[in-house]
Amino acid sequence: MPTPTDKGSYPEYLRLKELLSLQSGWKEKEENISSDELHFIIVHQSFELWFKLVISELRQARDTLDESYVEETKIPKAVHHMERGIETFRLMAQQWKVMETLTPQGFLSFRDELGTASGFESKQMRTMEAIMGDFWIDGKKIENKINEKSIQEVVTKWLARTPIQGSLPNDSNDGQAVSEFVNEYLDIHLKLGEKAAHALSNNDDDETSNRFKDVNKQASEFLKPNGECDRARAGLLFIESYRELPLLSWPRKLIDTMVELEESMLLWRSSHARMVERMIGRRIGTGGSSGVDYLDRTSRYRVFTDLWGVRTILIKKEELPELKNSEFYSFVGETNE
């Protein structure tokens, strides 16, 4: 292996000899596989290389945020790594198009030889998922067993430290400040629901009105699970509600980027499912799953459930509780006139 001082060449630096000798699949020699199979292998390998990059970016983003105090200047770094992950997912979502140049018949000609080999067994896929966090579907958790922290985990801790109405977790009156904010918010949310229900129907006891009451109950359960304020969710709600405040501009950007990251992964999953449907219809997968039905189900998974969930309970700016201690959220040196 040449060192940088040897001034090695392009092929040496990229280890092209090794890299380009790995496309023979089960066969001993690459000459023995069809051009369709070569294409199949190269597309898979390219994906695995991109997975490797995404894993590295997600780890960097997580480590940047995994501190008991995250300096404002560190957040852009985490955002930057997530953005590279997002663009890679977008690129990979396009990459299925190359796969689709394989015809269903062309695939069938070597599919039997794959045996039980399936994307199911991609370890990097599972690592990517696990670094994001646990997956939820229909209220049930699919735990990702991996011996490292997830982005979801470290961000929840970070959110729990959000200043709410200028109050910080270690302040002596913090509990009161947070519950005042949450309760005021829920009261306004309830009244807005009543108003909306009334606009749709004059009967306070009908189905529409009950539906709005249920929505308020869900908002209350979201912000106060077991009756106690969840500080991370209250912090998230605060950031989303007062997102124009200068001090919240990077936190807000981080949250937006996380939602975009998960969205890009979901779009990649669903475009894989469409490619698979086009290729094998409703056949059982080589890994033994129900195939397209299984893949469609995975595009209903959500990791950053709170980040998605908070959107349901947002209210318009003019109705928000009055902001307290606004000077706390200005840039240093900015006056609050």
CA nearest to 36, candidates 110, 92, 96, 97: 110
DSSP string, 85-139: HHHHHHHHHHHHHHHTTS-HHHHHHHHGGGTT--GGG-HHHHHHHHHH--EEETT
Q: How far is CA 333 from CA 86, 112, 157, in A?
A: 35, 69, 29
Indicate which single residue of 25, 133, 285, 321 sits in contact with ligand HEM (rule: CB under 6 A).
Answer: 285
**Gap between the Cα atoms of 201 and 269, Å rounded:** 41
Q: Which stretch binds ligand HEM (CB under 6 A): 70-78, 120-128, 145-153, 178-186?
A: 120-128
Q: Are strands 140-142 and 135-137 parallel, antiparallel or unpaired?
A: antiparallel
**Gap between the Cα atoms of 322 and 320, Å rounded:** 6
Shortest separation between residue 280's beta carbon and ligand HEM, angstroms: 5
**Gap between the Cα atoms of 219 and 308, Å rounded:** 13
Rounded CA Rg of the chain: 25
Residues 297-336 that bind ligand HEM (CB under 6 A): 298
> Does residue 120 interact with ligand HEM by CB under 6 A?
yes
Q: Which stretch binds ligand HEM (CB under 6 A): 68-76, 176-184, 255-263, 283-291?
A: 283-291
> Does residue 280 interact with ligand HEM by CB under 6 A?
yes
Kindly report the backbone phi and psi dihedral angles of residue 142, in degrees, each rounded to the nearest multiple of 5, phi listed first.
-105, 105
Q: Which is nearer to ligand HEM, 121 or 244 (CB)?
A: 121
Q: Which is nearer to ligand HEM, 231 or 272 (CB)?
A: 272
What is the per-residue binding string for ligand HEM in 125-154, x denoting contact by CB under 6 A? Answer: x-----------------------------
Shortest separation between residue 139's beta carbon and ligand HEM, angstroms: 19
Residues 36-55 that bind ligand HEM (CB under 6 A): 43-44, 47-48
Indicate which single residue of 42, 288, 330, 334 sits in contact with ligand HEM (rule: CB under 6 A).
Answer: 288
Tokens of 188: 């306004």
> Does residue 23 interact with ligand HEM by CB under 6 A?
no
Contact in structure between 127 and 147 (CB atoms under 8 Å):
no
Q: Which stretch binds ligand HEM (CB under 6 A): 69-77, 150-158, 228-236, 273-281?
A: 273-281
Shortest separation between residue 75's beta carbon and ligand HEM, angstroms: 30
Q: Which stretch binds ligand HEM (CB under 6 A): 8-16, 77-85, 200-208, 287-295?
A: 287-295
Q: How far is CA 74 from CA 66, 129, 154, 200, in A?
A: 11, 23, 14, 47
Going by the DSSP 8-state scheme, the letter that residue 321 receives in this structure is P
Residue 135 pairs in a beta bridge with 142
* Residues near ligand HEM, by CB under 6 A: 43-44, 47-48, 99, 102, 107, 118-120, 122, 125, 272, 276, 279-280, 285-289, 291, 294-295, 298
